[in-house]
Amino acid sequence: MDFDYTTEQQNFRLKTRAWLESTAAELFNDLVDSSQTTIESLLYTHDEDVWRRMLEYHRRLHAAGYLALHWPKQWGGAGAGVVEQSIYQDEVLRLGLPLYGANNFAIDRIGPTIMMLGTEQQKQRYLQPMLTGEEIWCQGYSEPNAGSDLAGLKTHAVPDGDSFVVTGQKVWTSNAHHAQFQVLLVRTDSSVPKHRGISYLLVDLRSPGITVRPLKQITGEMGFNEVFYDGVRVPRSNLVGRMNEGWQVSIATLMYQRASGGVRHPVERTIAELVDLVKSIEFERVPAAEHPYVRQKLAQFASDARCLRLGRYRAMTAQLKHRTPGPESSIGKLMATELNLRLAMFADEILGPYAALENGSMAAVAGGKWTSRTIAAREFTIAGGTSEIQRNIIGERVLGLPKG
């Protein structure tokens, strides 16, 4: 078996790298210097100028043909092969850029769900503006009492003529402050077991009766929101799948989400930064890079990151064969987010008391970026289904263990 890239593939890598580097430098360089963060983390900004740049990046990514490599050509994607996709992912992660421009929810999970289960009219109406960035999407699943137990959701929709009338509340809705559209899970029948009475709607967030309220996180950012629905009318033509059978549709979206959750963390980039860090500090009174414990940990991280990369390629191959990602997408999501957390915790450990110093503090190491990462890393082990839930899925649906 030949694992080497062909000359053509190597040229694609060089071209992609050059394009990403120059575009990112032109649009974002000053931001990364000052915020000491990745460009990907700027996706949820409330700063209008940063968001405008993110939209511009999205438009350029689409015009250059990189935005939706995995979408079929019929719907405006590139229909690219696994090698091109993996090269693009590697290069994006190397620079800490967002994979899908400003519209990650649309390109990685909602668009593919509509392609698979939407009506022809929905495909014609919604897919193209996702690509151009004219319509940004978010995902309305979680509620104050329905997170891990998502099927317990209470926001309800009542059919009325050619509309549904929606009333209730969602929470933790990432990017609702930028979005024009949302996929929304609603209860349409309370008299049947909870998984059976749910429907999946496409909702225009500009409809009368919708209020979006940002929530402030421990990091100081406001990436997600509460969304309130007060008698909101949604056309019946915006139902995806059949009424009361939205659970299956919602699972398809979640599988795509988890498959991409294994991709978004630039762990190899973080490991390279950790290697630089250990060359510049001491740990237990010896140069950290010479300390056996530090070296063992870094080697373990590097092996884990390589396994993750190979798992990423494998998931991509399955998608290219037009298989919806299955429960195994939980493995990538779990591994990536837990590794990302372990890297942050390790930086915390070797920095000792310096780890407590934030950006702006005189003695903060690397502008306090490791501190911000430690605070932020745990959120990814929760979003998209917690690590405990992923382990339950792997235990029950991949390994075939009895239900816990």
Note the residues at the interface with ligand FAD (CB under 6 A).
138-142, 147-148, 172-174, 224, 379, 382-383, 385-386, 388-389, 392
Of 140 and 332, nearer to ligand FAD (C-beta) is 140
For tokens 């229909």, what's the residue? 79
Q: Which is nearer to ligand FAD, 142 or 260 (CB)?
A: 142
- Copy the structure tokens of residue 16: 């992609």
CB nearer to ligand FAD: pick between 174 and 374: 174
Give min distance, CB of 206 to ligand FAD, in A. Answer: 18
Q: Which is nearer to ligand FAD, 85 or 175 (CB)?
A: 175
Q: Name the residue with the smallest CB distance to ligand FAD.
A: 147
**Which C-beta is closer to ligand FAD: that of 69 or that of 110?**
110
β-strand partners of 140? 184
How far is residue 238's CA from residue 137's CA, in Å, rounded to a whole number?
14
State the Cα–Cα distance between residues 384 and 330, nearest whole angstrom.
10
Q: What is the C-alpha to C-alpha distance for residues 401 and 403, in angstroms, rounded to an integer? A: 6
CB of 379 to ligand FAD, least distance (A): 4
- Smallest separation, CB 218 to ligand FAD (Å): 11
Q: Residue 340 is which amino acid?
A: N
- Reduce the DSSP state of residue 187 to 3 states and report it: strand
Angle of helix 82-95 relative to helix 267-278, nearest 10 degrees, comes to 40
CB of 34 to ligand FAD, least distance (A): 23
Comparing CB distances to ligand FAD, the nearer of 142 and 270 is 142
Single-letter residue type at 278: V
Query: And the tokens for 108?
Result: 């990685």
- Exposure pattern of 310-332 as b/e (b: 16+ CB <10 Å)? ebbeebbebbeeeebbebbbbbb
Q: Minimum Å distance from CB 354 to ligand FAD?
A: 26
The one-letter code for the residue type at 336 is A
Considering the complex, what minimum distance in angstroms separates the CB of residue 360 from ligand FAD? 24
